[in-house]
Amino acid sequence: LAIGDDSGLIGDQLTNQTLVRLEGTTRSGTTVSLDLDGDGFDDGTTVADATGAFSFSDVLLAAGTNALSVEAVDGDQRVEASLQIVVDIDGPQAELVTPMAGSVVNMEPGYVDIRWTDAGLASLDVDSFGTGDISITSATVESATPLDDGVVRYQYSSTPDALPEGTITVTVNAGEVLDTAGNANEADELTFSVDRSSPV
């Protein structure tokens, strides 16, 4: 997988690109054929240059695991090589777990817990978590601490000293949380309510 199309960690064969360039090396002048679907080496042919380098451009991959093979033919000699490339186009998603989304609370713990999940084959990039992931009504997010099972605890300070009564919106800011394929989360709004009024 060409470096320019390897959106995750370089060399991990994980990408969010579906149209990619494949590169390799073999003996110079060797004819190289490509197989994308397991039905024979009929999905492209090229010839290695004087340094032995060869490539296939605009290779269309499907979401999920793609098993690719090449065959190099030089006279009577035939050599095959295989590679698996995983395509993940799904970004992380956020779920409010503390307080629960849609719940009503009469006190605040000073933090919200967000569970981040990724529907694709990539895993969450824990290094991407930070205070810019979310915004909270009348509060400032001061820290982001990863817990277990994809949960991140966001400590906040409220202005003046407590969150106002009524609906509190936790805004999930787009493009802040990544997975290891390089996909980013989309914007979202999660809410809970604060009610400190006693019955009369």
Q: Are 122 and 135 in contact (CB under 8 A)?
A: no
Determine the Cα–Cα distance for residues 175 and 154; give it in Å rounded to an integer: 17
Helix, coil or strand: residue 133 = helix
* CA 147, chain centre distance (Å): 19
Q: What is the dihedral of CA 80, 86, 89, 92, to 10 degrees?
A: -160
Measured over the CA atoms of residue 20, residue 26, residue 27 and residue 32, the dihedral's sign is negative
In whole angstroms, give the CA distance from residue 112 to residue 151. 10
**Cβ of 55: how many Cβ atoms within 10 Å?**
14
CB–CB of 195/168 below 8 Å?
Answer: no
Per-position pLDDT tens, the chain of length 200: 999 999 978 888 999 999 999 999 999 999 999 999 999 999 999 999 999 999 999 999 999 999 999 999 988 889 999 999 999 999 999 999 999 999 999 988 899 999 999 988 899 999 999 999 999 999 999 999 999 999 999 999 987 778 889 999 999 999 999 999 999 999 999 999 999 988 88
Instruction: Point out which residues pair with 20 in neighbouring strands.
Output: 59
Are β-strands 45-47 and 31-35 bridged in parallel, bridged antiparallel, or unpaired? antiparallel
d(CA 71, CA 114): 48
**At 70, which amino acid appears?**
V
DSSP 68-92: EEEEEEETTEEEEEEEEEEE--PPE
pLDDT at 74: 87
